[in-house]
Structure 1
Amino acid sequence: MLYLRNLVYHPTACPHAILQSTNLDLPTQQLGLIIGPSGSGKSTLLEILSGLAEPTSGGVFWREQPLIAEQLQQLAGLVFQFPERHFCGGTILEELRLGHPELGSEKVRQALSEVGLEHLSLSSSPHALSGGQQRRLALAVQLIRQPSLLLLDEPTAGLDWSMRRQLVNLLAKLKQDWTLLVVTHDAGDLLAIADRCWTLKHGQLESVEPLTLQTQSQEAVTAI
Structure 2
Amino acid sequence: MLDLREITYQPQTGSEKILDDISFNVHENELILICGNSGAGKTTLLEIISGLTIPQKGSISWKNKTISARQRRWISGVVFQFPERYFLGTTVGKELKFGHKSLREKNIDIVLKKVGLSGINLAQAPEKLSGGQQRRLAVAVQLMRNPTILLLDEPTAGLDWSMKNDVKNLVHNLQNKNTIIIVTHEPSLFEGIPYKIITLEKGKIKKLMKEHYGG
**TM-score of the alignment, normalized to the shorter chain, above 0.5:** yes
- Structure 2: which amino acid aligns with 1:207? L
Taking every aligned residue pair, what percent have the same amino acid on both sides? Answer: 43
CA distance in 1, matches of 2:62, 2:210: 23
Q: How does 1:158-169 map to 2 (within 5 A)?
A: 158-169=158-169
The alignment covers a number of residue pairs equal to: 214
Describe the SS at the equivalent of 2:5: strand
Q: 1:211 to 1:29 in 2, by over 3 A?
A: closer
Deviates more, 1:189-198 or 1:199-208: 189-198
Question: Is 2:91 the counterpart of 1:91?
Answer: yes
Shift of 1:211: 4.2
CA distances 1:41-98 after superposition (whole Å, capped 9, x unpaired): 1111111111111011101111111111111110110011111122111111111111
1:201 partner letter: E
Measured against aligned partners, the alpha-carbon deviations of 1:156-184 in whole angstroms (never above 9, x if no partner) come to 11212112122112201201211100011
Matches of 1:210 and 1:16 in 2, distance apart?
31
2:118 is matched with which residue?
118
Distance 1:135 1:13, change over 3 A: same
Q: Does the CA contact (< 8 Å) of 1:3 and 1:62 recur in 2?
A: yes
- Deviation track 1:6-57 (CA, whole Å, cap 9, x = no partner) reads 0000122211100010011110011011111111111111111111110111
Q: Describe the superposition over 1:71-126 as per-residue Cα deviations: whole angstroms up to 9, x where unpaired.
A: 11101100111111221111111111111131111111111111111121101111
What is aligned with 1:175? Answer: 175
SS of corresponding position for 2:144 = helix
1:22-171 matches, cutoff 5 A: 22-171=22-171
> Structure 2 CA distance, aligned partners of 1:174 and 1:123?
25
- Residue pair 1:11, 1:56 contacting (<8 A) in 2 also: no
Code of the residue aligned with 1:101 in structure 2: it is: K
Task: Assess if the C-alpha contact under 8 Å between 1:51 and 1:73 holds in 2.
Answer: yes
Deviation track 1:110-163 (CA, whole Å, cap 9, x = no partner) reads: 111111111211011112211111110011111110111000000111212112
**Deviation at residue 186 of structure 1 after TM alignment:** 2.2
**Structure 2: 5+ residue runs without aligned partners?**
none
For residue 145 of structure 1, give the secondary structure of its aligned residue in structure 2.
Answer: coil
The answer to whether the 8 Å contact 1:51/1:68 transfers is yes
Contact in 1 for aligned 2:195/2:212 (Cα 8 Å): no
Aligned-pair distance for 1:210?
5.1
Q: Distance in 2 between matches of 1:56 and 1:191?
A: 36
Q: Which runs of 5+ in 1 are unaligned?
A: 216-224
**1:207 and 2:208 are equivalent in the alignment:** yes
Deviates more, 1:72-81 or 1:162-171: 162-171
State the one-letter code of the partner of 1:94: K
Normalised TM-score (structure 1):
0.91
What is the DSSP-based 3-state SS (H/G/I as helix, E as strand, rest coil) of the residue aligned with 1:156?
A: coil
**Bigger helix fraction:** 1
- Kept in 2: contact 1:191–1:210 (CA 8 A): no
Q: Which moved more, 1:191-200 or 1:134-143?
A: 191-200
Q: Output the amino acid matched with 2:16.
A: H
> Which residue matches 1:186?
186
